[in-house]
Amino acid sequence: MLRLPCMDKAVQLTGLTQPELVSFVETLGEPAYRGRQLFAALQHRRLRSFEEMTDLPKERRARLNEAGNASTLKIESRYVSADGTRRYLMKTHDNRPVETVFIPEERRDTICFSSQSGCPLQCTFCLTAQLGLLRNLTAGEIVEQIIVALNDAYGDGVKTPRGTNLVGMGAGEPFLNFDALLKAIRIVGDPDGLHIVPNRVTVSTAGIAPRIRELATIADRPHLAISLAAPTDELRNELMPINKKWPLDELLDACKEFEKSLKPGERFTFEYVLLKDVNDSDEQARQLANLLNRHSLRAKVNLIPHNPAEPLPYQPSSEGRVESFREILESKGVHAFVRKPRGRDILAACGQLAARSTSPVSIQQQPR
Ligand code: SF4
């Protein structure tokens, strides 16, 4: 039997795998099938309270309620962008902010989840950095973000019409909360639950090289994206200080190692935020292409026009500059795409998550 901190009221049941939930109910004197029933209620039907689990006898629900929590995140605000993107600002039981973004797309909707409350890394173009690290999120809190977003977007427990992609690109550095992240990915991939398989999940890192190597060894792993932001160590040290610990050559060596684990048709992605007059010149595009080619990396580059937010000292590059940067990469054999910013008006776009309220005009506060 699995060891669980089971009689602790703080057990977050959304953070338990199906076998762990079975063990949990067994410690309460319940048969194993009740654990499977509970897993389906939490993860498949996406119920967030025991009262809603009316197929469980009332006294059993009361007992479960004493031993664990069906949900712990409180939705403080919900903001809806003119482009349909939704941002949820939630609070943990100990009052830490958690932000999640739902991005409707033509083919398949995407949920961007956070792995930490705040972030310890000091990327200068990112608003989250200004919060510092408040704490790591638990596996249950990561899973719950997805449940909240799905319920809000489609209706409580309603089957997602087109399936869902997940991206770990919200607040925090996912690889500094590696175990909880992997556990959450395992839980959401369970076919009896949310059934969002690792192949639908992409995790983005600022460049924690040892974890990139470790991820490569995991058979059922998510896809990988790496935030680069600069083609030289000198500039990257400035924009992403984590580079001083794992400089570009070391980072790209780890990526090369990761490349061996790619499945047919799979590529990993470099994210490159474009900051006007800082990292967006033709020369820097050539340096970036040369860097990737020198390491013979078969990756694609997503160019992300910077999402401005006070008090960040940067502006987005002009459309013409972005296009010229992209063309230079392509001309040197590096596949590059321009990512369209989503949810800028509600501070939901990349680098804008800092637990802020937006202007009342764009707010639709409908806590559920
Ligand atoms: S870009 Fe990512 S890693 Fe860097 S400070 Fe922001 S949240 Fe943290």
Distances in Å between the alpha carbon of 36 and those of 24, 30, 58, 190? 11, 11, 18, 12
Residue 122 CB coordination number (10 Å): 14
3-state SS assignment for residue 124: coil
For residue 9, the model assigns a pLDDT of 54
Residue 78 has pLDDT above 80, yes or no: yes
Residue 319 has pLDDT above 60, yes or no: yes
Q: Which of 115, 131, 173 to mutate to test the pocket of ligand 1 (most atoms within 8 A of CB)?
A: 173
The answer to whether 40 and 192 are in contact (CB under 8 A) is yes
What are 169-183's pLDDT values in tens digits? 999 999 999 999 999
For residue 16, the model assigns a pLDDT of 98
Task: Kindly indicate the confidence band of residue 267, based on its pLDDT and cuts at 50, 70 and 90.
Answer: confident
Q: What is the mean pLDDT of residues 256-275?
A: 93
At CB < 8 A and 24+ separation, what contacts does 354-357 make? 354/127, 354/128, 354/130, 354/131, 354/171, 354/309, 355/89, 355/97, 355/99, 355/131, 356/127, 357/77, 357/89
Share of the chain above pLDDT 70, in %: 91
Active site residue 112: no
How far away, in angstroms, is 283 Cα from ligand 1 center? 26
Radius of gyration of the chain (CA): 21
The answer to whether 216 and 258 are in contact (CB under 8 A) is yes
Q: From the CA of 172, give the closest atom in ligand 1.
A: 7
Distances in Å between the alpha carbon of 90 and those of 21, 99, 185, 271, 355? 25, 6, 20, 27, 9
Q: Which of 98, 99, 115, 121 to mutate to test the pocket of ligand 1 (most atoms within 8 A of CB)?
A: 121
Residue among 355, 357, 362, 363 at smallest CA distance from 91: 355
The answer to whether 194 and 166 are in contact (CB under 8 A) is no
How far away, in angstroms, is 352 Cα from ligand 1 center? 10
What are 207-233's pLDDT values in tens digits? 999 999 999 999 999 999 999 999 999
What are 26-72's pLDDT values in tens digits? 999 999 999 999 999 999 999 999 999 998 889 989 999 999 999 99
The answer to whether 182 and 219 are in contact (CB under 8 A) is no
Cβ < 6 A, ligand 1 pocket: 119, 121, 123, 126, 128-129, 171-173, 206, 351
Residue 349 has pLDDT above 70, yes or no: no
Task: Kindly indicate the confidence band of residue 357, based on its pLDDT and cuts at 50, 70 and 90.
Answer: low
| 11-12/68-69 β-pairing | parallel
Which protein residue has the closest C-alpha to ligand 1 atom 3?
Answer: 173
Active site residue 238: no
Report how far residue 105's alpha carbon sits from residue 294's, in angstroms, rounded to the nearest whole number: 35
Residue 8 has pLDDT above 50, yes or no: no
Task: Kindly indicate the confidence band of residue 366, based on its pLDDT and cuts at 50, 70 and 90.
Answer: very low
Report how far residue 217's alpha carbon sits from residue 219's, in angstroms, rounded to the nearest whole number: 6
Q: From the CA of 127, give the closest atom in ligand 1.
A: 6
Residue 323 has pLDDT above 50, yes or no: yes
How far away, in angstroms, is 78 Cα from ligand 1 center? 22
Residue 1 has pLDDT above 60, yes or no: no
End-to-end CA distance of the chain: 37
Which protein residue has the closest C-alpha to ligand 1 atom 4?
Answer: 123
Per mean pLDDT, which range of 134-143, 191-200, 346-355 is the poorest? 346-355
Average pLDDT in the chain? 90
Which protein residue has the closest C-alpha to ligand 1 atom 6?
Answer: 126
How far away, in angstroms, is 230 Cα from ligand 1 center? 14
Give the pair of three-digit tokens for residue 34. 């009740």
Does 112 or 311 have the greater pLDDT score?
112
Catalytic residue chosen out of the listed positions 112, 123, 255, 350: 350
Q: What residues have CB less than 8 Å from 18, skipping those under 6 apart?
A: 35, 36, 39, 190, 192, 193
Q: What residues have CB less than 8 Å from 342, skipping those under 6 apart?
A: 81, 83, 85, 101, 103, 348, 349
Residue among 167, 174, 177, 226 at smallest CA distance from 198: 167
Residue 144 has pLDDT above 50, yes or no: yes
Task: Kindly indicate the confidence band of residue 308, based on its pLDDT and cuts at 50, 70 and 90.
Answer: confident
